[in-house]
Amino acid sequence: MPRLFTALRIPDSLSLQLALLKGGLNGARWIDRENYHITLAFFGDIDRHTANDLVVALGGIDRHAFSLRVDRLDVFGNDKPRALFAHVEPDPALMDLQGEIERIATRHGVPRDRRKFVPHVTLARLKGTAPHEVARFIHSRGGYHSAEFEVEGFDLLSSKASIGGGPYLTEARYRLESFEGLYDESDLEGEWAGEAAPPRISVPA
C-alpha cells in the first residue's frame, strides 16, 4: 500500500514565489514546486479496507473555506538542520480542520501522530548543512512572508515509501466552500481512480 496523508495544496502564485527562493544553500535537496503542500495528517501505510473507510469518513467534514498566509522561513532541527520550510500562520480554522481529521483517523484505528502539528511547506531536505549557513540563508531572504490565499478544500494524497518529497498522487479531493466533503473522480491519479474507486459520496439536494 502507498503511504497516505491529507494535505492542502497551495496556489500556483505562492508555489512560484517559494520556488524562487531556491539556491545558495549547501547540502539542500530542493523540493519541486509541483509537490509543495501543507500536510494536515499523516496516516502512513494502512490496509485497503481502512483506507476506503477513511475516504468516505473524510467526506463527512462540514467546514467553511478559510484564508492562510506564510509568515516566515524556518528550519527543523536547529542544532542539526534537516529541513528548510515556509511556516504557515496557524489560523484557528486550520487548526480545527486538522484536529477533526486526526480524530476521524483515530476512530478508524490509525495511530495519532505524536509530533506537534506545525503547519508548513517543506522547501528543501538538508544534509550536512551547518546551522549558521541556514541562518544566513533565511536572513538573506529578508523576512519572507506571503499574501493571504484561500483554502477551499483538502486532498488525500499518496506517496511511495521509498521516495521523499514527491511525486504525490491525488486519491480523493474534498471541498470546504460548499460545506460538503465531495469525492471528485476528476484529476485523481492513484489507486482509487477509475474502476477501483470507492462509491462517489452523494451531496444532498
Catalytic machinery residues = 37, 120
Task: Give 47-95 as a DSSP string.
Answer: -HHHHHHHHHHHTT-----EEE-EEEEEEE-SSS--EEEEEEP--HHHH
Q: What is the DSSP letter of 168?
A: -
Whose grid coordinates read 509568515? 71
| Residue 103 DSSP SS3 | helix
| Residue 112 DSSP SS3 | coil
**Grid cell digits, residue 119:** 503547519
Q: Whole-angstrom Cα distance, residue 198 to residue 205?
A: 21
